[in-house]
Amino acid sequence: MSDHHIALYRKYRPGKFSEVEGQEEIVKTLQGAITSGRVGHAYLFSGTRGTGKTSIARIFAREIGCSDTDLYEIDAASNRGIDDVRELREAVKTLPFESKYKVYIIDEVHMLTNKHSTRS
């Protein structure tokens, strides 16, 4: 795909911590966790659209050595039912394939519902 067909947010999304702008404190905190070897079991990124939550989560996953095989990005706006959450809960019980860590990025988590899935 040529560059002019790539969405701007993908074209200009930072790929490493040094490219992140406007989030110096969170980058410093995450880098400190990595350097000290004290990576938490969960991180919650919140903020308005375009502040870099997903980008920073992806960079963090890469920096802790998570392979593409062990990185799961889920769009909760599309996978929002009880059955989807049950599948996710079962999947987290398995060990990572190639990495020390398995990382789940759940985007748009506010879209999750407590209603039963209508999937057949």
3-state secondary structure of 105: strand
3-state secondary structure of 11: helix
Triad 115, 42, 110: Cα angle to 5°: 30
Most distant CA atoms of the chain, gap in Å: 47
Q: pLDDT digit string (tens) for 52-97?
A: 999 999 999 999 999 999 999 888 778 767 787 788 888 889 999 9
Q: From the CB of residue 57, how many other CB atoms can be counted at a distance below 10 Å?
A: 20
Residue located via tokens 């992140």: 20
pTM score, two decimals?
0.82
